[in-house]
Structure formats: C-alpha cells, structure tokens
Amino acid sequence: MARLVMKFGGTSVASIKHMENVAAKVRTEKLAGNEVVVVVSAMGDETDRLVSLAEEAQVPEVDTRRELDVLLSTGEQVSIALVAMVLSRSGLPAKSFTGAQVAIKTDGVHNRSRILEIDAERLEADLGKGIVPVVAGFQGVNESSDITTLGRGGSDTTAVALAARLKADECRIYTDVEGVFTTDPRIVETARCLERITFEEMLELASLGSKVLHTRAVELASKFHVPLRVLSSFNDSTGTLITREENITMEAPLISGIAFTKNEAKLTLLGVPDLPGIASTILGPISAANIEVDMIVQNVSADRSTDFTFTLSRQDYDQAAVILEAIAASMGAREVTGDTSIAKLSIVGVGMRSHAGVASKMFEVLAAESINIQMISTSEIAISVVIDEKYLELAARALHSEFDLAEPFA
C-alpha cells in the first residue's frame, strides 16, 4: 500500500465531466489498495473571473490584499466541494477541506504566503477510515485565522507540502502536458518526455522558462525528499518522476533538457568609468523599480572604461531604458544600447558536472550553424546563452540532436 497525493490543476477540473476523469484516476489508485489525498485548483478560468471582479472593486491606493485572498480562495473551495461530490457518487467516500480546515498555517503575507506548518490530524483520521480528503490548493490561514493565498504555483506547493507532512510515497501533479520534455515539443519535433529527472535539473529548467512546475514546489519537494511526478490528467502515461540524484539508477545522461525563453531583451551601458560599485549604481534604481534582471555581464576593462550588459523581461524594457538613460547621464557613460529581439537558450544536466567539454560542444554546435553567441552564463548544471531570437528554433533543434536527447537512455 502506498500513500499518494494527487493534485489536479484548473484544466483538469474545468467541468463536472472533467471531474469524472479525476474520479476515474482516483479509483484506479484506491482499487490498487493505495491511500489517496486529492488537491485541486480552481475550475478552468474561475480565478480569472474572480481577479477581474477584484480589479473592478479595488484601487491601487487602498490595501485590500486581505480581501483579495478571501475572494480568490473561493475558487478552490468550489472545486473541492464538487470534486468531493463526484468522488462520492462514484462510490469513493470523499470529504472536502479548505485550507483553514486542514489546517494549513501560513506566515500571513497576503497574496503570496508561505506555508509554516500543517496540522494533518483531521486528514489522517479520515484516511484511516478510507475516506479520500479533497484539499483546496493555494490557500491557508495565518495566525489571526485570516485566509491567505500562496501566490503563483500555490496549488502545487500545497500538494507537495501535504505530501511531505503526510509522508506520502509520491506527490503527483496532473496537468495538461505529459510530463517534462527534453525541450519544447512545439519547437523540436523529436522532443521526448523524460522518464526521470533530478530535483536540481528540474529547478534549473523551471527557472530557465519551463512552465511545467513552479520553482517553489520543486524546491519544497527537494527539501523534504518528496518524489514528485508530473503527468497528464488526460491519458494514462506515467509522466516524469522528479527525484533525488541517487534514485536515478542508470548513469546520468550528459544533459537532460533544453530550456528557452523568447520574451527577453537586453540593455547595454557603453563606456562606463570602471570604478568600484558601478554594478550597484546601475542596478540599484532598476531593482527599486521592481524590474527583475536575469543575466549580467561586465567586460574586463582595458582603458579605464567598461561595458555593462544585462537581460530582462521584454515587457520591462521601455521602463528600464528610461531609467538607464538617466543613470548613464549621471555617471558620464558614453551610450545606452538595447535589443528586444533576443532569446535565451539553456542546456541543463547533472551529467555536465562530471563531463568536461559540454560547454565547448554547445558552442561548436552553434558555430556550425553560424549562430552568434551574444552573452554566456553558467551554473554547475546549466549553460545559458543569449542569441538572436530568429535563430532560436534552429539552435534548439541542432542542440537537441547533437546531445542525443531524442534517443531514450541506453
């Protein structure tokens, strides 16, 4: 007997019909003798509907984030009630739980709370009776019993936290994709669904643009050693298991996947006086404007002046350019240049830790396709490059092929 947490996202509970599909998946596990806890998100685009109501009711000058949480948490509450009804009528005794009822205690920051602890007593009692608890994702309560929501990736985080607390054997995230792919199958036809991947690789992929799982849920699973499986709620494939490195029994492949983001831009400050502290002088005002900076490159100085480049999300480009012009003027830099037609492409794999030459192979592949590399940044298990966005598909396909990602592991 295994204990499973099964989390279904908005598209998987978009209608009563969809919920019957959820019930079928739960039944399969119950028939196999497993204990099941279900976690659900709000139905389809219910959250969007609630957000647009809030936008009509809120003004930026008045802090009503507490009320936004009260509002948004109803989306998941509707789902748990209906899923519990559908499970019950399918002969699977079920019981819904709001975040407050579980009780999922949070740090009390509205709209982006973190889970502090879970009092799983009620769930354990119901599991003991063969009941399937259906828990609302994305929500908890703070110490004043105010409703708090967990922000982006919140329902996945709820599922992983519950799995950790209940010592579940596996936390399954059912989505509308089959699992974690070697790269985006819409771009590279031969992209393959990975059978296994390490937490570290998944974290890199998530932070590098893969939309499958939010970084937060992966981090939490990694911290508490919760085996995490991403799989489709629309078929019976086994998806991708995200696990600790030692559980990947076969020798790790050189790289596991290729991630990319198109929505990138870069800004360069040319001819900056090369003095201590220039990085913070430049980036301080940018970050004060809540603009997130990704890659940062500063060239070695030759003539007491230097060039400073960073990448950012394309939608922040205009605002950042204005700020940078002001900075350039104040510090006597020569010029501000920018580019909004770039893309970032990364290869990720724990295998590259023990294999030299991954970077040079990557650069060779790109050079063979005459693709110019504009920026490079590396971490222990990832190498990222910035290139002209028009070469992105070409680069992804070439790398996918050269690193043998289309081939199943030997």
Residues that bind a copy of itself (CB under 8 A): 16, 19, 50, 53-54, 56-59, 61-62, 64, 66-68, 70-71, 73-74, 77-78, 80-82, 84-86, 88-89, 95-96, 98, 100-101, 145-147
Q: Please report which residue ranges of 252-301 form alpha helices under DSSP H.
A: 278-288
Nearer to a copy of itself among residue 96 and residue 306 (C-beta): 96
**Residue 109: φ, ψ to 5°:** -75, 120
Nearer to a copy of itself among residue 62 and residue 356 (C-beta): 62
Reported as type and span, the H/E element at residue 45 is none
Q: Least distance to a copy of itself from the beta carbon of 19, Å?
A: 7
Q: Least distance to a copy of itself from the beta carbon of 164, Å?
A: 23
**Residue 221: φ, ψ to 5°:** -60, -40
Q: Is 350 left (phi over 0), alpha (psi -120 to 50) or beta?
A: alpha
The answer to whether the beta carbons of residues 107 and 65 sit under 8 Å apart is no
Nearer to a copy of itself among residue 54 and residue 293 (C-beta): 54
Distance of CA 45 to the CA centre of its chain: 19
Could you tell me the two tokens for 121?
């007593």
- Radius of gyration of the CA atoms of the chain, in A: 24
Q: Least distance to a copy of itself from the beta carbon of 149, Å?
A: 12
- The tokens 């509308």 sit on which residue? 176
Residues whose CB falls within 8 Å of the CB of residue 49, separated by 6 or more in sequence, listed in order: none
Q: What is the C-alpha separation between 13 and 19, in angstroms, rounded?
A: 5
Q: Least distance to a copy of itself from the beta carbon of 16, Å?
A: 4
Nearer to a copy of itself among residue 2 and residue 57 (C-beta): 57
Q: Least distance to a copy of itself from the beta carbon of 90, Å?
A: 9
Q: Least distance to a copy of itself from the beta carbon of 340, Å?
A: 35
Nearer to a copy of itself among residue 76 and residue 316 (C-beta): 76
Could you tell me the two tokens for 308?
């400073």
Nearer to a copy of itself among residue 151 and residue 271 (C-beta): 151
Q: Least distance to a copy of itself from the beta carbon of 71, Å?
A: 4
Cis peptide leading into 120, omega within 30 of 0?
Answer: no
Q: Please report which residue ranges of 184-259 form alpha helices under DSSP H.
A: 199-207, 215-223
Q: Least distance to a copy of itself from the beta carbon of 320, Å?
A: 29
The H helix count followed by the E strand count for the chain is 12, 18
Nearer to a copy of itself among residue 74 and residue 281 (C-beta): 74
Nearer to a copy of itself among residue 88 and residue 379 (C-beta): 88
Helix (H, G, I), strand (E, B) or coil at 47: helix
